[in-house]
Structure 1
Amino acid sequence: MAAGLLIVAVTMMIVLGIPVAVSMALGSVVFVLLNGTPSVVIMHQMVSGIDSFPLLAIPFFILAGNLMNSSAITDRIFDFASKLFAWARGGICYVNIVASVIFAGMSGAAVADAGGLGAIEIKAMRDRGYGDRVSVGLTAASSIIGPLIPPSLPMIIFGFVGDVSIGRLFVAGFIPGIVMALCLAAMVRWIAHKHDLPRDGDFAWSTVGTSFNKAFLSLLTPIIIVGGILGGIFTPTEAAIAAAAYALVLGVVVYRTLSFKDIWDVSRASAEMTASILFIVSAASLFAWIIKTERVAYDFSAALFGFTDNVIVILLLINLLLLIVGCFLDAIAAITILTPILLPVAVAAGVDPAQFGVIMVLNLMIGLLSPPLGIVLYVLSSVSGVSMRDTILGTLPFMIPLLATLFIVTFVPAVSLWLPNLLGF
């Protein structure tokens, strides 16, 4: 009962506009003190919550993504993809998707994709005569591929909170990310056929080869990260450090596009973002400890299974809950709050923790495209100058392939689990 009041109180504070981390920390501290628990538990749980080696991956992946956006790396990747798909009807739309897939293997953050690569993609589509709604809508949809394909910041948080192997989560998200890209490509093909979209030019090996040579070192970045993790060379944390170091070398030594001021600005922005995320994780650690000790997950599971023991219905209800939460709550905050409650329910229903991690992250990424929160919508509206209304309307058609991907991931476990089982993760 008391834990239920805590959840309601935290929810109300978030609705009233109090920052998520402050809401969780304040509610949890009051609960601990009123419950008669020694106050030392507060600091112990909050400090131990972020005293974790895997969490070191967060600042380095953020730094790597920001370095790539501030140097010429994303531009070279986009140029190569555009030359590769010039022959196809609506080729620039396929470029949008492919470039996001490649960038996904570098930053692992949807907002980084939208804010950096997104600006390039929207400008390129506009230059070729595409309307603002299509340009912004497709860019928004493709940007959420990032948190599925390794590396992935939300996967790191889920793995830490749920005590699930981060390496297994990374591998589990790879094929679902490709499935999402294919579903978006199918949507683009339908749009291209319906509206008879033009080709951007003819395919020429010489042009593709030239752009590939310019982008080669940039294209090595996802290969180093993903290949290093899959090959057992890196842990996810070590891969994050390698990614940041490689991006810094490319920007400073090879391309010479990063000045000292750029590095300072990037480092400061990365530190601010990291501090914000770790504050949420720290507050959520205390909150999750209360949820665990008060047996909230057990009670919720018992209530849900008392309502139905049909696994399909349970998964549909969990998906619906996550989609709704994703509309109102930041993904990192939602993962830290809901994982201790929903993961035991999913496991009891026979769902592998890694598969559930992919399901949760995908749901919450779709939430990034859904008002009223919709962080990606706000970012793209800002960088493109398109009104929020047109940004939302442009994104709506692309919800179809995203929800189709969610359905496939939810009810076809092999999509998430085949690769990690094959590689022994």
Structure 2
Amino acid sequence: MTMLSEAEEIPTPGLQAGSALMRPVEVAAAALLVTIIGLLLAGVVSRYVLGSPLIWVDEASSICFLWLAMLGAAIAVDRAEHLRLTLFVNQLPPALGRRAHLLALVLVGAFLLAMLHPAWEYMVEESYITSAALNIPLSYRTAALPVGVALMLVLVARDALRSAPLAEVGAAVGIVAAAALALWLISPMLPGLGYGNIFIFLVVFVALFLALGVPIAFCFGLGALTFLTFTTSMPTMVLVGRMDEGMSSLVLLSVPIFVMLGCILDATGMGRAIVELLASMLGHVKAGMSYVLLGSLFLVSGISGSKVSDMATVAPALFPEMKRRGHKPKEMIALLATGAAMADTVPPSIVLIVLGSVAGVSIAGLFTSGFVIAMVLLLVLAVLARWKARHEVMDGVRRAPLRVIGRAAVIAAPALVLPFLIRSAVGGGIATATEVSTLAVLYALVIGMVLYGGIRPARLWSMLVETAALSGAILIILGAASAMAWALTQTGFAFHMARLVTDLPGGWVTYMLVTIAVFAVLGCVLEGLPAIVLMAPIMFPIAANLGINDIHYSMVVVTAMNVGLMAPPIGIGFYIACKIGNVPPDEAMGAIWPYIAALIVGLLLIAFIPALSTAYL
């Protein structure tokens, strides 16, 4: 039983090769990523060193960013790296599963085909608007949308024709066309259903697409497209505009930069140096290796911002020694998964950056509070780990000599600077998350090359392309989820839901329990980012009306989502941990529940003791 995207089945960046057809696109995407980093570095130097900000940097970066997102999304299609739910499809007989996969491809192709002309229209409309600083038509930026949609459409058509005989492809196309025709025929009756349309199109349809294995981004896109097409008179071009808006926030510029930083961390061995330092300091005590695993995830996540990168860095370095001391593989996987969930609030968490962008919450405040909240979760997991390790075999384990600890500290010191540099710079208001991300990449590259053996040119190239693909996959999810969230809010449903929840007995306490339940369930199914983009516009205003601090509420949302993310049998993060640790999910499933319970204890403390989130702001 697995539920992984192809990207997550191979946690080490750069190992998934694309087709020769996409080489020019990969070159362009890599060049765009380097250009964005260069532009942002130039802006930082100009502002903080020369005292004369370059006013055109943001516009130039925005143009490159949208092109990177769309080309990266196309590369992700080519490499089958878009996040999708495969739990149900994998349980079907092989022949039926193949047909479900083909139907999923045709549905994606139908969405892209429907969006192609509106994307072109949107680009033409934007050509009449001139940018403020560069004084060029905005179509230079928005041309990325029709180009990216067209590329993805070609790639999806190629994959469909490769995966099945032409007759089966035709049959799948016929099924989708017949469904569209049926919806068009009954569309005059649909407006009369009112909020029932939300359940049909944005719940049932999206759930059906998820179960078929349609990538999450296209599930949201199809849900929003069918809802607007068959129940409203809204032009599809509006949907393109909402997707553009969802992908184009300048705050999100830090996402590909931190993804790149995670690749550098993995390639240079900087994360392994931190792990070895903690092992030399704590490895001799009871439950010491469990403490090392949790502490490593805590510190490494402060560099990479990516759960997959964190787990892939820590697990191979620690699991052999933990096995030697009698730790069961299923217990190690449970600790790895929940430890990664704990570490997701440690800056520079990509989830926190997206949440700050979507909900309008201070990223500096999120970074400061996230560090403390992660320590609360670290403590509850460490207490459980100590109790679990009461029978740990310690034969032959000795305290490391001071010279060994000292040598490990010297090697790890340059890497240890990064998480504290990122947190203090953003939390202290010295620089934005985007500015800090570029400085962190430059620092990691220089330190990695000088002190940690450098990066081979071939590996650097694969890192750039992989960063572009992963960033595109993330950003297209954000764009599609933004469009679906906008479609939901336009119905007025959010207002009625807010009034209903506000009238619940128990006030903010009841609302916190509702929030935990909602985001834990969404975390299981949708992973972090799409769940945030969908629900934050609805849930955060209600929290504000109930007097809940936005930073406090953000910490509850992220923690609840991560509990769901790691909870079997659906939580995606659980299966990633099993893949990285090479342990069958069925074996690890029973062991993770005490750790999930520990996280829930920590979550309840965070939810009902606001000072844990706000005392240090």
Q: Distance in 1 between matches of 2:531 and 2:201?
A: 16
Q: Deviations over 1:309-357 (max 9, x none)?
A: 5322221122122222222222111111121222222222221122111
Q: Deviations over 1:98-139 (max 9, x none)?
A: 111111211122222122222323233124332212222211
Letter in 2 for 1:161: V
Q: Distance in 1 between matches of 2:324 and 2:269?
A: 20
Structure 1 segment 73-88 matched on structure 2, within 5 A: 73-88=270-285
Letter in 2 for 1:377: F
SS in 2 for 1:145: helix
The residue number in structure 1 matching 2:214 is 18
Mapped contact 1:45–1:289 kept (Cα < 8 A): yes
Instruction: Tell me if 1:333 matches 2:333.
Output: no
Q: TM-score, normalised by structure 1?
A: 0.93
The residue number in structure 2 matching 1:7 is 202
Per the TM alignment, residue 392 of structure 1 is displaced from its structure 2 partner at its CA by 1.9
Q: Bigger CA drift: 407-416 or 87-96?
A: 87-96
Mapped contact 2:325–2:394 kept (Cα < 8 A): no
Per the TM alignment, residue 197 of structure 1 is displaced from its structure 2 partner at its CA by 4.8
Identity %: 26
Structure 1 segment 273-288 matched on structure 2, within 5 A: 273-288=470-485
SS in 2 for 1:268: helix
Q: Distance in 2 between matches of 1:87 and 1:165?
A: 41
Q: Bigger CA drift: 342-351 or 301-310?
A: 301-310
Letter in 2 for 1:18: V
Q: Distance in 1 between matches of 2:529 and 2:373?
A: 20
Decide whether aligned partners of structure 1 residues 124 and 65 sit closer, same or farther in structure 2, where only a CA change above 3 A counts: farther
The residue number in structure 2 matching 1:324 is 521
Mapped contact 1:3–1:290 kept (Cα < 8 A): no
The residue number in structure 2 matching 1:30 is 226
Mapped contact 1:328–1:372 kept (Cα < 8 A): no
Mapped contact 1:122–1:139 kept (Cα < 8 A): no
Per the TM alignment, residue 207 of structure 1 is displaced from its structure 2 partner at its CA by 2.2
Per the TM alignment, residue 85 of structure 1 is displaced from its structure 2 partner at its CA by 0.7
The residue number in structure 1 matching 2:596 is 399
Structure 1 segment 3-402 matched on structure 2, within 5 A: 3-8=198-203, 9-34=205-230, 35-192=232-389, 194-195=390-391, 197-198=393-394, 200-202=397-399, 204-402=401-599
SS in 2 for 1:144: helix
Per the TM alignment, residue 287 of structure 1 is displaced from its structure 2 partner at its CA by 1.6
Mapped contact 1:81–1:98 kept (Cα < 8 A): yes
Letter in 2 for 1:15: A
Per the TM alignment, residue 3 of structure 1 is displaced from its structure 2 partner at its CA by 3.8
Q: Deviations over 1:372-425 (max 9, x none)?
A: 3333322222222211112222322211221111001110111111112xxxxx
Mapped contact 2:567–2:596 kept (Cα < 8 A): no
Decide whether aligned partners of structure 1 residues 163 and 106 sit closer, same or farther in structure 2, where only a CA change above 3 A counts: same
Q: Distance in 2 between matches of 1:257 and 1:375?
A: 33
SS in 2 for 1:256: coil
SS in 1 for 2:537: helix
Q: Distance in 2 between matches of 1:63 and 1:392?
A: 32
Q: Distance in 1 between matches of 2:355 and 2:208?
A: 24
Decide whether aligned partners of structure 1 residues 299 and 121 sit closer, same or farther in structure 2, where only a CA change above 3 A counts: farther
Q: Distance in 1 between matches of 2:377 and 2:548?
A: 21
Per the TM alignment, residue 196 of structure 1 is displaced from its structure 2 partner at its CA by 5.2
SS in 2 for 1:419: coil
Letter in 1 for 2:207: T
Letter in 2 for 1:31: F
Per the TM alignment, residue 70 of structure 1 is displaced from its structure 2 partner at its CA by 1.9
Per the TM alignment, residue 181 of structure 1 is displaced from its structure 2 partner at its CA by 0.9
Q: Distance in 1 between matches of 2:228 and 2:331?
A: 50
Unaligned stretches of 5+ residues in structure 2: 1-194
Q: Distance in 2 between matches of 1:120 and 1:409?
A: 31
Letter in 1 for 2:206: V
Decide whether aligned partners of structure 1 residues 14 and 196 sit closer, same or farther in structure 2, where only a CA change above 3 A counts: closer
Q: Distance in 1 between matches of 2:585 and 2:227?
A: 39
Q: Distance in 2 between matches of 1:54 and 1:416?
A: 22
Q: Bigger CA drift: 57-66 or 256-265?
A: 256-265
Per the TM alignment, residue 4 of structure 1 is displaced from its structure 2 partner at its CA by 4.4
Mapped contact 2:504–2:510 kept (Cα < 8 A): no
Per the TM alignment, residue 6 of structure 1 is displaced from its structure 2 partner at its CA by 3.5
SS in 1 for 2:304: coil
Per the TM alignment, residue 304 of structure 1 is displaced from its structure 2 partner at its CA by 2.2
Superposition RMSD on alpha carbons, in Å?
A: 1.9
Q: Bigger CA drift: 248-257 or 361-370?
A: 248-257
Mapped contact 1:308–1:314 kept (Cα < 8 A): no
Q: Bigger CA drift: 210-219 or 196-205?
A: 196-205
Which of 1 and 2 has greater Rg? 2
Letter in 2 for 1:134: E
Q: Distance in 2 between matches of 1:339 and 1:115?
A: 30
Letter in 2 for 1:269: E
Mapped contact 1:296–1:341 kept (Cα < 8 A): no
SS in 2 for 1:146: helix
Aligned length: 419
SS in 2 for 1:173: helix
Letter in 2 for 1:76: A
Decide whether aligned partners of structure 1 residues 69 and 364 sit closer, same or farther in structure 2, where only a CA change above 3 A counts: same
Q: Distance in 1 between matches of 2:269 and 2:425?
A: 23
Q: Distance in 2 between matches of 1:118 and 1:240?
A: 25
Mapped contact 1:64–1:247 kept (Cα < 8 A): yes
Decide whether aligned partners of structure 1 residues 231 and 159 sit closer, same or farther in structure 2, where only a CA change above 3 A counts: closer
Per the TM alignment, residue 203 of structure 1 is displaced from its structure 2 partner at its CA by 5.2
Letter in 1 for 2:587: D
Q: TM-score, normalised by structure 2?
A: 0.65
Decide whether aligned partners of structure 1 residues 165 and 197 sit closer, same or farther in structure 2, where only a CA change above 3 A counts: same
Q: Distance in 2 between matches of 1:90 and 1:242?
A: 36
Q: Distance in 2 between matches of 1:341 and 1:390?
A: 38
Q: Bigger CA drift: 150-159 or 288-297?
A: 288-297
